[in-house]
Copies of this chain bind each other. A is one copy, B any other.
Amino acid sequence: MSNRRAQKGRKELPVQGPKSLEPFFDPCAVAVIGVSNDPTKIGSIIFGNFLRPGFRGNVYPVNPKHKRVLGKKCYTSVKEIHGSVDLAVIAVPAQAVIQVVKDCVEKGVKGVIIISGGFKETGPEGAEREEELKEIVAESNIRIIGPNCLGVYNSTSMVDTFFLPEEKAGRPKIGSISFVSQSGAFALSTMDWMAYQGVGISKCISYGNGCDVNEVDLIRYLADDPATKVIVIYVEGITDGRKFMEESRKTIVKKPILIVKAGKTKKGSVAALSHTGTLAGSDKIYEAAFKQSGVIRAEGFQDLFDMAKTLSLQPPAPGNRILIVTNGGGAGVMIVDACEVCSLEVPELPSHVQRKLKEQFPPHFSTKNPIDLTGDAYDLGFGIALDEACLRYDGVDGVIICLLPQVPKLTIKVANIIADASFKSRKPIVACCMGGEFTANVSGEIEKRGVPIFPTPERAVDAMWALVKYGENLKKGNKR
């Protein structure tokens, strides 16, 4: 493992404020506490993650029972390590955690991720143990993520405390979405899903019981993180609503925040209580708080990541007037329906725009909104429509394209034409592209060039709604 960065000399990090979280995301030296010679144990998997080529800092295994693990010198305690340690990852039985954390404080470790469970989620004894952790935090400069969590994944520094092997749980490519999750399982399956779908991530944080670092701290950190363009949050409950709102309000003028709050209904909040011991609270209060602070709420998993992808690729919409360009009349109608349901306007195009379109199109193409290129659609037809009715015309704020690439005259070239228009336009463009294998190729090409693609009309409309909503929130936020 390279020593380069570790030797560069450490700058002193301020202990308060978002900068105190830096050791979690970009540490020069990491201790993994609870590594054993069994490579399937949690500590060993995490240690192995830090040995992968991506991570450029030092990593030290700690376990009092062993002199060497997995071929490396093993330390009996974090205190024995010679160099400084920025981050300690703890995967030891709950009973041993407190002493280990105290050792970390003594050593001057900046951040601790406690993977171990056995705290407030298990009953009174665990809750007491968790209180002890809180006391340690209050009396020292140390910051804690967890306990009872999966910790941190950072796609650029390759900090990766997710203790599932890559064969079972994929790691997403580098991207600009950061994901904060109260639920470890949810973080895990989301990461795996994003990897599979080719959606990039910047950072993923599973903060578990949140005895110290919670969603508010993480929002504050990610707000100033240049690698994060969109913040996505899964919570069952929020500890400090006032601070959450305050921090969100400040953040959303820089980047959008998307949230899913489980335990939305009465039954759901009972289930949440039994899951993480979180009081989900009245949903109406949450709804109002999200609205006031400009946080965009998703209805579910798919919605959440559709919106995240879109906001990471496209600019917010300056207004709600949507142009639809389609080559399937039926799908066009479905888009109009879906727009009306979520209060997006589909304005008529003025006669001078329609005239210009008519001059270039065969007579059976519809030049109204939706512009319908019919089954005779050709690649350049989409270019003409976008040029005349979006680039040269100021009366629409965003475009939804519906592409059925199966028709005879459409080829893969249409991807370039759409991407080109999106590149030239300051207005957002999203697309839906329905079909099979050929469609998947066309979709892939379009999305690669920055236009988010969805397999159904409704999902494309929901994505556009997010861009319109964020545009609105931004205006409100900037006025404050």
Chain A residues within 8 Å of B, Cβ to Cβ: 40, 122, 164, 167-170, 181-186, 188-190, 192-193, 195-197, 234, 236, 260, 262-268, 270-272, 274-276, 299-302, 327-334, 336-341, 346, 364, 366, 368, 370, 372, 375, 404-408, 434-440, 455-459
**Closest partner residue, chain B, to A338 (CB atom):** B300
Known A164-B408, A193-B439; 11 more pairs at CB < 8 Å: A168-B405, A168-B438, A169-B435, A186-B328, A189-B404, A189-B406, A260-B334, A275-B366, A299-B458, A301-B457, A301-B458
User: Can you give 6 A-B contacts (C-beta < 8 A)?
Assistant: A196-B440, A265-B337, A266-B340, A274-B366, A275-B330, A300-B457
Whether B330 and A262, one on each chain, are in contact in the complex, defined by CB atoms closer than 8 angstroms, is yes
Q: Is the CB of B168 within 8 A of A406?
A: yes
- Sort A-B residue pairs by CB-CB distance and give the 8 closest, nearest first: A183-B330, A196-B436, A185-B328, A275-B329, A268-B337, A265-B340, A192-B435, A192-B436
Residues on the B chain within 8 Å of A196, using CB: 435-437, 439-440
- Decide if A189 touches B331 in the complex (CB within 8 Å): yes
Chain B: CB-nearest residue to A305: B456
Q: How far is the CA of A16 from the CA of B400 in the complex (A)?
A: 45
**What is the bound-complex CA distance between A186 and B328, given in angstroms?**
7
The one of B190, B266, B368, B434 in contact with A434, judged by C-beta atoms closer than 8 angstroms, is: B190
Which residue from chain B places its CB closest to the CB of A411 in the assembled complex?
B168
The smallest C-beta distance from A161 to any residue of chain B, in angstroms, reads: 14
A413 to chain B, nearest CB (A): 14
How many Å from the CB of A376 to the closest CB on chain B? 10
CB neighbours (8 Å) of A334 from chain B are: 260, 262, 268, 300-301
Contact between B333 and A263, CB atoms less than 8 A apart: yes
Which B residues lie within 8 Å of A333 (CB)?
236, 262-263, 268, 271-272, 275
Q: In angstroms, how far is the closest chain B Cβ from the Cβ of A453?
A: 14
Q: In the complex, are the beta carbons of B302 and A458 less than 8 A apart? A: yes
Chain B neighbourhood of A267, CB < 8 A: 336-337, 339-340, 346
Given contacts A330-B236, A341-B265, A435-B193, contact A406 B272 (CB under 8 A): no
- A436 contact set on B, CB distance < 8 A: 169-170, 192-193, 195-197
Out of B276, B300, B439, name the residue touching A456 (CB < 8 Å).
B300
Measured CA separation A186–B402 after assembly (Å)? 11
Q: Are A331 and B457 CB-contacts (below 8 A) given A336-B271, A406-B168?
A: no
**What are the residues of chain B within 8 A of A339 when measuring CB–CB?**
267
- How far apart are the CA atoms of A405 and B185 in the complex, in Å? 10
Taking A168-B405, A437-B196 as contacts, is the C-beta distance between A330 and B186 under 8 angstroms?
yes
Asked if residues A185 and B330 are in contact (CB atoms below 8 Å), the reply is yes
Q: Is the CB of A265 within 8 A of B331?
A: no
Chain B residues in 8 Å Cβ range of A375: 184-185
Residues of B with C-beta under 8 A to A366 = 274-275
CB A170 to nearest CB in B, in angstroms, measures: 4
Min Cβ gap A228→B in Å is 22
A190 contacts across to B, CB distance below 8 A: 434
Find chain B residues with CB under 8 A from A188 CB. 404, 406-407, 435
